[in-house]
Amino acid sequence: MNLRESGRVLAAYAKPRWRMLSLSILFFVLGSAVEPLLPALFKKLLDSGFQEGLKYPIWVVPLIIIGMFVVRGGFNFSGAYMLNSASSLVVLDLRRDLMKAVLRADAKLFTHMSPGIAVTRIINDPQFAAGAVGGALTTLLRDATTLLFLMGYLVYLNWQLTLVSMVTAPLLAFAVRTIQKRLKHVGEASYLSHQRLVNIVDDNARAWRVVRTFDAMDFESQRFEAEATVQRRMQLKHAAAAALATPTTQLVASIGVAIIVTLALWQASHGAATVGEFVSFITALLMAMSPMRHLTDVYQPITQAMIVMQGCRDLIDAPKEPDLGTREIATCRGEIEFDRVLLTYEGAPRPALDGLDLHIRPGETVALVGASGAGKTTVVSALLRFAVPEGGEIRLDGVPINDLKLANLRRHFAVVSQDIVLFDGSIAQNVAYASGEVDRAKVESCLRAANLMAHVQTLPEGIDTPIGTNGSKFSGGQRQRLAIARALYRDAAVWIFDEATSALDSESEAVVQRSIEDMRHTKTLILIAHRLSTVRNADRIYAMSDGRVVESGSHEELLESGGVYASMVRLQSAG
């Protein structure tokens, strides 16, 4: 694992934010430069107060001391804010590129990367890496420079005396409680935004076929970026509240110190006593202890951040889905040809498609039947170029699909599968998925054509009703019909029903079947089914086995021939 390369990648994302980072460094250095001024000020005030008598109004002393802490706190807060602002932009850039990598990655990526891993890589890892490095950088800038200035002052002094400032406990408790409330409020808002971001990423990792079939990569990128920007603002507010904690507590502590010093000077005005050097030395010495302790903890978070960045690098560098086509089909008739197509999945002992020949005419309804593993679903994957054949040719309207741009190819297909994928949002947003502005009249028309509008009209919010996670508020049949309405809105030339009714009851299947029948001869329909009752009305049925077509014909013709299809019908009838 090359941690240096991971560091270079992270540095490349940070480079465009060099202005913010430079300002952060400047503020931290200025804040550190104030540190030795504090014990030096104590020495001056105490020595002048005890030895020479007061030459200034006593009320000026607490103002100067508190003012010094205010200036130091202001510099440190500004440095932390600028650093976190730059860090949050690095996180946003990383997430944007990781999301684009997932949307455009080769299909092989999804054979070994689960949705949970995708969520972690895109949401959690950039935040952790940038946060860990940002925290370490804060420590280095603030504590290293503080230690440097304090050690220089200690060398200059050689000796000093100290005065331990006390903190007013009730005031400190109030300050801490106030900051905690702010952190809780902003933290809850950030958490809710984070959950919405996770939902969007989960949608895309779970539904990558649908996203690409609908050519919705740009749509999803925009949806993701909008919520990621909200998340970035919430995190920045949280970081600002957290950055206030240290200067606020230090300010409260300074009040106690100011009180003690004021009392000491008041006493000194009534009798000579030199304590300034002692106070100055011990104060500077104690102030140096904390940064020394913090600097010892820098290495571990940087190492962890680089390890996390390695995973981000792997995803960003993942091979992209090949798209070498240059041609486009403006209007698709829906003619499909498989010419001796050979396709073998990586690691498979035999081809999934073994010299497949298939011809589907425009507007024809065909069915692909066969046992599991016969190659039916692979036909769909090859058509949409989710799987790449190593031999033969597939043509759409006479044009080899490899010559077509991916977006143009997939624009002509609508897929309704057994595993319905719906997105977080309303009914209307799902029907008009990735289509820009929602045409409400067209949405309602598609819902009617899918035999779902009657149910939608019973809902209080109508087509604006949220569907729940993956359509959890709808039954299986309703989810299926909603997917059909979404495909209708797309108005593609070729429709593919991949086991679309296999998980439905008889009543729901009949409703979906009516929707399919309504589209016959207006679209090219490809029906893939184990339940043969759903395909008997097809113009042509292709029985497949071991990646090849073993027989074809109408329902009646295949029954009469007594072959594979007839055996399947008899077996299901007997069951």
Q: pLDDT tens across 297-323, in order?
A: 565 567 667 767 877 888 888 888 889
Specify if 266 maps to a domain.
yes
Residue 383 pLDDT > 50: yes
**Which tokens is 538 given?**
């097809």
Residue 476 pLDDT > 90: no
Among 276, 292, 316, residue at a domain's last position: 316
Residue in the structure block whose two tokens are 């309303």: 426
Verify that 153 and 226 share a domain, yes or no.
yes
pLDDT of 253-285, one tens digit each? 566 545 545 544 554 455 433 455 556 655 665
Among 298, 316, 334, residue at a domain's last position: 316
Residue 19 pLDDT > 60: yes
Domain that holds residue 428: 365-377+411-574
Verify that 303 and 417 share a domain, yes or no.
no
Question: Can you give the pTM of this predicted structure?
Answer: 0.69
In this structure, are strands 540-545 and 365-369 parallel, antiparallel, or unpaired?
parallel
Mean pLDDT, residues 533-543: 87
Q: What is the pLDDT of residue 196?
A: 74
Verify that 129 and 214 share a domain, yes or no.
yes
Instruction: Supply the CATH number for residue 449's domain.
Output: 3.40.50.300
Specify if 42 maps to a domain.
yes
Do residues 290 and 35 lie in contact, with contact meaning Cβ atoms separated by under 8 Å? no
Q: What is the pLDDT of residue 185?
A: 65
Mean pLDDT, residues 344-359: 91
Can you give the C-alpha Rg of the chain in angstroms?
35
Structure confidence at residue 46 as a pLDDT band (50, 70, 90): low
The sheet with strand 336-343 has its strands ordered as 353-360, 336-343, 391-396, 399-400
Verify that 50 and 183 share a domain, yes or no.
yes
Verify that 68 and 170 share a domain, yes or no.
yes
pLDDT of 133-166, one tens digit each? 887 777 777 777 777 777 676 666 543 343 344 4
In this structure, are strands 365-369 and 548-553 parallel, antiparallel, or unpaired?
unpaired
Q: Give dist(CA 337, CA 366) in Å, integer.
A: 13
Specify if 557 maps to a domain.
yes
Q: Give dist(CA 412, CA 397) in Å, integer.
A: 11
Residue 470 pLDDT > 80: no
Specify if 539 maps to a domain.
yes
Among 275, 301, 316, residue at a domain's last position: 316
For residue 536, which amino acid is it?
R
Burial of 181 (0-12, 13-18, 19+ CB in 10 A): exposed
CA quadruple 135, 141, 146, 149: dihedral, nearest 10: 170
Specify if 125 maps to a domain.
yes
Verify that 22 and 118 share a domain, yes or no.
yes
What residue spans of 105-244 are helical by DSSP H? 115-119, 125-139, 145-157, 169-206, 208-213, 217-243
pLDDT of 241-253, one tens digit each? 767 766 765 666 5
Q: Given CA atoms 396, 397, 399, 404 in this order, what sign does their dihedral have? A: negative
Residue 83 pLDDT > 70: yes
pLDDT of 197-222, one tens digit each? 777 887 787 777 788 888 888 888 88
Verify that 185 and 287 share a domain, yes or no.
yes
Q: What is the pLDDT of residue 252?
A: 64
Verify that 245 and 186 share a domain, yes or no.
yes
Q: Distances in Å between the alpha carbon of 465 and those of 197, 210, 445, 474? A: 21, 22, 17, 11
Do residues 499 and 528 lie in contact, with contact meaning Cβ atoms separated by under 8 Å? yes
Verify that 372 and 306 share a domain, yes or no.
no
Specify if 144 maps to a domain.
yes
Structure confidence at residue 542 as a pLDDT band (50, 70, 90): very high
- Which of 405, 395, 409 has the alpha carbon at shortest distance from 341? 395
Verify that 415 and 514 share a domain, yes or no.
yes
Verify that 369 and 296 share a domain, yes or no.
no
Q: How many domains does the chain have?
A: 2
Specify if 24 maps to a domain.
yes
Instruction: Supply the CATH number for residue 179's domain.
Output: 1.20.1560
Specify if 339 maps to a domain.
no
Verify that 372 and 277 share a domain, yes or no.
no
